Amino acid sequence: MGAPDLLSIRNVSKAYPNGVKALQNVSLKIPKGMFGLLGPNGAGKSTLMRILATLQTPDEGQIHLGEIDVVNQKDELRKTLGYLPQEFGVYRNASAESLLNHFAILKGITSKSIRKEVVHGLLQQTNLWEVRKQKLGGYSGGMRQRFGVAVALLGNPKLLIVDEPTAGLDPAERVRFLNLLSELGENSVVILSTHIVEDVSELCTNMAIINKGQILLEAVPLLAIDNLKGRIWRRVIAKGKLPEVAQEHKVISTKMLGGHTVVHVYSKEDPGSEFEQVAPDLEDVYFCTMTGHYTQHQYQPAKEVVL
Ligand SMILES: Nc1ncnc2c1ncn2[C@@H]1O[C@H](COP(=O)(O)OP(=O)(O)OP(=O)(O)O)[C@@H](O)[C@H]1O
């Protein structure tokens, strides 16, 4: 039996019939607040999100939200689950207000006056009040995502799962969407799955990095960044020099900037005069982890850390 607001995932594995091992022995402890699950395409994020949302069953492992056994008490979990999938269809001819009202009925909010209060509150919270009478078919990508959040929030979920929500949003919509999400972590476990490092660095108090179905790192973003201090070095090189630099140094990332190639390397010591030390950010944590230059035992895991 776990603490009421803790999502505990233990040794979860899932393979697809074609043999792909989408999740291998995944264990995570996810407290109340915003949790970022970061990983590249195909890492296994959506598989884990669907399992947590009770849409798939793991081959092995246990998952508990407080006292609810997520794998075996799917109906119990669904009562307190909000899920915004990667892609969702909407009835294009319905307005946000009427569709949200409809979903509220399905969610069991039978009293008309309470329903009105809930629906109006959610439309205001997601900043859709002004456009509540417009047809969803005419909404922008960002407005649709915010409508998805309004639906996911019906019934005050204790667990809110948001799968790759910012893909395809323009910068202004993305900021508006992230601001909305950041307000939600106060009362529930919110899991944000993404391949965009900034989504996690701007929002999440805890995070994990997943690749090829395995958790490579579980950390508090600020502490993980702190642990890399003094170890990230930067140099601008000609494009053709990359193989040479990569042979001599632990290159973690390369980026084009104004037509030049900017290389970040991991090194405990000064790698040489042409490199300058830079303040690490979460992108450095991500690439260090993905390239295997930095591993879990060098970090303090999220669950043992008190900030
Ligand atoms: N229904 C399926 N049948 C077979 N293989 C699948 C299925 N769904 C996912 N996979 C495979 O499982 C692995 C994990 O996929 P998953 O969608 O969970 O990753 P992801 O991190 O969400 O990636 P993306 O960001 O591209 O959505 C990938 O190799 C994918 O090709």
pLDDT 10s digits, 257-278: 888 899 999 999 999 868 999 9
The one-letter amino acid code at 191 reads: I
- Specify the residue with its C-alpha closest to ligand 1, atom 25: 41
Pocket lined around ligand 1, Cβ cut-off 6 Å = 16, 18, 20, 22, 39, 41-47, 195
- How confident is the model at residue 305, as a pLDDT? 45
Residue 189 lies in a domain: yes
- How confident is the model at residue 219, as a pLDDT? 93
- Residue 124 CA to ligand 1 centre (angstroms): 35
- 237 and 271 fall within a common domain: yes
Q: CA 61: distance to chain centroid?
A: 21
- 238 and 186 fall within a common domain: no
Instruction: Go through 103-127 and write b for each residue having 16 or more CB atoms within 10 A of its CB, e for each that does not.
Output: bbeeeebeeeeebeebbeebbebbb
The one-letter amino acid code at 170 reads: D
Residue 162 lies in a domain: yes
Count of helix runs (H) and strand runs (E) in the chain? 10, 14
For 281, the token pair is 């950010």
- Residue 258 CA to ligand 1 centre (angstroms): 35
Cα 274 from Cα 198, distance rounded (Å): 28
Residue 21, H or E segment: strand 21-30
Residues 208 and 218 sit within 8 Å (Cβ to Cβ): yes
For 195, the token pair is 């391949």
- Residue 156 CA to ligand 1 centre (angstroms): 29
**What ipTM did this prediction achieve?**
0.96
Residue 118 lies in a domain: yes
Residue 90's pLDDT band (cuts 50, 70, 90): confident
- Specify the residue with its C-alpha closest to ligand 1, atom 24: 41
- How confident is the model at residue 304, as a pLDDT? 46
Least confident of 15-19, 33-37, 93-97, 105-109: 105-109
Which of the two residues, 63 and 153, has the higher pLDDT score?
63
Half-sphere exposure of 82 (CA within 13 A, CB side): 26
Using the predicted structure, report yes or no on whether residue 4 has a pLDDT greater than 80.
Answer: no
- 47, 87, 192, best to mutate for ligand 1 pocket (most atoms within 8 Å of CB): 47
Question: Which pTM was predicted?
Answer: 0.89
Residue 149 lies in a domain: no
Q: How far apart are the first and last CA of the chain?
A: 26
Domain range spanning residue 112? Answer: 91-138
- How confident is the model at residue 306, as a pLDDT? 44
Cα-only R_g, the chain: 21
- Residue 64 phi/psi, 5-degree rounding, is -130, 135
- Residue 119 CA to ligand 1 centre (angstroms): 34
pLDDT tens per residue, range 159-201: 999 988 887 778 888 888 888 888 887 778 999 999 999 989 9
Residue 195 lies in a domain: yes
- 117 and 255 fall within a common domain: no
Cα 67 from Cα 65, distance rounded (Å): 6
pLDDT tens per residue, range 45-62: 999 999 999 999 999 999
Q: Residue 174 belongs to a domain with what CATH number?
A: 3.40.50.300
- How confident is the model at residue 184, as a pLDDT? 80
Q: How many domains does the chain have?
A: 3
Using the predicted structure, report yes or no on whether residue 14 has a pLDDT greater than 60.
Answer: yes
